[in-house]
Chains A and B, each alone.
Chain A
Amino acid sequence: GQNIDQPTEMTATEGAIVQINCTYQTSGFNGLFWYQQHAGEAPTFLSYNVLDGLEEKGRFSSFLSRSKGYSYLLLKELQMKDSASYLCAVRDNDYKLSFGAGTTVTVRA
């Protein structure tokens, strides 16, 4: 089975940095994904980690530690448009995704 935990909500100020943590306990591991989902819209792909370390993509970075079952998504220079839910998903050995419940980030002016 899969158990994926992430905080329910986070609030930050425009221009600041926010780190969203994700911990997982899964029966198999074949990569970790982060998706962004604006209210009423579809999830959109942000990042993918399969090896330990940091992946940087513009203002967004994602980190993975497989030994600790831990990942984080770092959002830098926050903008109002970054207000959304951020979904952590783990791919198992059958290449199926299991999702956490999502973290709602609210960016304040």
Chain B
Amino acid sequence: IAGITQAPTSQILAAGRRMTLRCTQDMRHNAMYWYRQDLGLGLRLIHYSNTAGTTGKGEVPDGYSVSRANTDDFPLTLASAVPSQTSVYFCASSFSGGATDTQYFGPGTRLTVL
């Protein structure tokens, strides 16, 4: 593994189903983030984690949950998917989440909820 990986690459999901998007980084970054990207709206922060064991809410957290059991993994769960959650989801990581930080993005997961 080099950098950030996400799985699956794409998924079609029936409304009401539960889905977990996976994100793994091997850069030993402390901070990780989940964004969704919708046409005309840009990237919006869903949840973040500044370090293993801690999480926080972003701009659009409703309907999503995250966990950060270790440094490398930051899964995003949709407990009961709805069509408005159709989007492209990007995971990102940065060294510290602080002042001199740059975020690096994974390749994305394209999710369609029918």
> Which A residues have a C-beta under 8 Å from some C-beta of B?
4, 30-31, 33, 41-45, 48, 87, 89, 95-102
Contacts and interface: CB of A to CB of B under 8 A. Distances in A.
Contact of B58 (A41, A45, A96): A96
A1 B58 CA distance: 12
Interface stretch (B14-22, B61-69, B76-84, B98-106): B98-106
Contacts of B108: 41-42
Closest 10 CB pairs of A and B: A42-B105, A99-B42, A99-B43, A101-B42, A43-B105, A42-B107, A45-B102, A95-B97, A100-B42, A101-B40
A95 B100 CA distance: 9
A100 B41 CA distance: 7
A47 B43 CA distance: 17
Q: Which of B35, B43, B58, B106 has the most CB of A within 10 A?
A: B43
Interface in B38-60: 40-45, 48, 58-59
Contacts of B107: 41-42
B103 A97 contact: yes
Nearest to A89: B43
Q: Which of B41, B59, B101 has the most CB of A within 10 A?
A: B101
Given A33-B102, A95-B98, A102 B90 contact: no
Contact of A45 (B98, B99, B104): B104
What's the interface size class on B, roughly? 20 to 34
Given A96-B48, A96-B58, A43 B43 contact: yes
A96 B33 CA distance: 9
A102 B37 CA distance: 11
A100 B43 CA distance: 8
A96 B105 contact: no
A97 B90 contact: no
A89 B43 CA distance: 9
29 contacts: A4-B42, A30-B99, A33-B102, A33-B103, A41-B107, A41-B108, A42-B105, A42-B106, A42-B107, A42-B108, A43-B43, A44-B105, A45-B102, A45-B103, A89-B43, A95-B97, A95-B98, A95-B99, A95-B101, A96-B45, A96-B48, A97-B103, A98-B45, A98-B59, A99-B35, A99-B43, A99-B44, A100-B42, A102-B42
